[in-house]
Structure 1
């Protein structure tokens, strides 16, 4: 086989660029589908994100199998080569990547110049030096895949020890031919288009709310003072500008707006901020009311949010602001839950000096304080 001296391999032709674009598209689509599916809890998206790269890998393997079989059937050719130059290009392990510039002199073909990169053990690195003769192997149809034989046969080892190899004219063929900025841009474009395709095809799953009876928000109810949104799982009340849940009667009115109707719903947690109330409803749907002897209104299925000690809330928040040593308070939050079996109120305040917590029982009696 005749080798054109210095003929560079063409690894990044149209097929290579198209493959890079397609690979970027698959990566973008699969990542977007998987992450989006996990975020919104959609199994079809998660499955798409997992299956797409597997299918692409299988198709790529089958499509390139004939070419790899043909390449594997080619018997490599052994030759002597002289090291024109070498340079370690990095690595922190025992095998250091080294870039070799070689002049290869086959016995029955013209000499050629090739640049390769190959790992060399640190112990063996001193054995390779400029103008040193080594034994190499290469596929006759792909000479840029030349590799240095680290353990040649005794016959080739003897030839390398006494041979002198002349330099071949350049330029050198390279074992790796990067596609440059255009190839990278095509891969990036494919990634972006793949992500956009998933967002477009699954926009209903990702952006539309269609939870129906299992938690779809009902139309918001607005008044001159607050806005209420209720779902099967939560309810929120947002006050208008200049208002506060600490204003007289405001918190009670907000809670009652979320628990209207004959099936006054029970709550697992109530969270109150200055202008926002959030109630996490109990999924049991049992009616409100307290069992005999339970003044706090707590049951295993939740508690009656109307049983909160509304009159004590402003005082508890003010006490937390002034006695917990947080400096100038910037924000506060009241959390009410009955997980422990009895109603517990926790006021957390944050300020320049850190955060502090005040805990009270279902009647608003302070139980403990802690500061940062």
Structure 2
């Protein structure tokens, strides 16, 4: 087995991971801001003072700003050497984080260690859409094939269907983690550029206003300006009920559980159930574990719904932080797709197996004609399917 070393060099040999603005870029930012500010002021001052020629001056300033920014870029592009094409490499998944989505393809934020064959390894952070059913294939510490650009190391994409040779390398080779300090980032103009551009914008606008202050302001207050009546528009706020498979959004189940834990003061529960748009929990009172209260997450909020009952001291509890939330999402997806019906509702409950006492996850789906279910263990592995007959 071949090992692709990633960390020893600490990123030596990989250049231009980050960049900052030079003096010329800062000056261009200041001048660009000044031109834009003066142009905007011309567009306002012209109609107010009846000097319509200022509109043409403003358009000229905008054109000058475009040339100011475009010409240096064109010169750099012409003098720059030919850009190398994309290359392939192995990469190690350091972390992944699914983002919100309403479709089958979910944007996932990856942090990878990219190990080029002819350069030192480095880290890259990017977002790529992955189909919901394929997400388990991209686990942390897994090896994948990626495409990257040697001149723009931050541009990385996972090759979801590599050819046979690369697929074999991904199975057989190992990539060590690169230090976090080797993270490749897109060059930015930085805060200094933005600050100088803002200063230039304000000074450019102020210069135009100052030049025409005599026409804009009338010291004796007798100008023919119309009176302005101030009105206030009030809006009425209302609570909007969120419907649909809200709990199937990536991270929603775990996030709802954490909010409930914060409200309950404990991460242990006697009962737990999850439906399309809410989560219900019964939990022992921290001050008196023999008493049980009910809680609910719905519409992004958690609330206590009242007393639930009592519990025996030896009654086993559900550890809310130990549940396989990522797998639970896929259990619902599988139940909706593979149990022989077109589901209109789904429900997830948690029980103890009568023979072993181990925690089980039951997912039930239903339509107007009945229901079907599947049973999984505490790790989220399906152990029984009960389709509609």
Q: Which has the higher contact order (CA 8 A, sep 6+)?
A: 2
Indicate the structure (1 or 2) with the bigger Cα radius of gyration: 1
Q: How high is the TM-score relative to the length of structure 1? A: 0.46
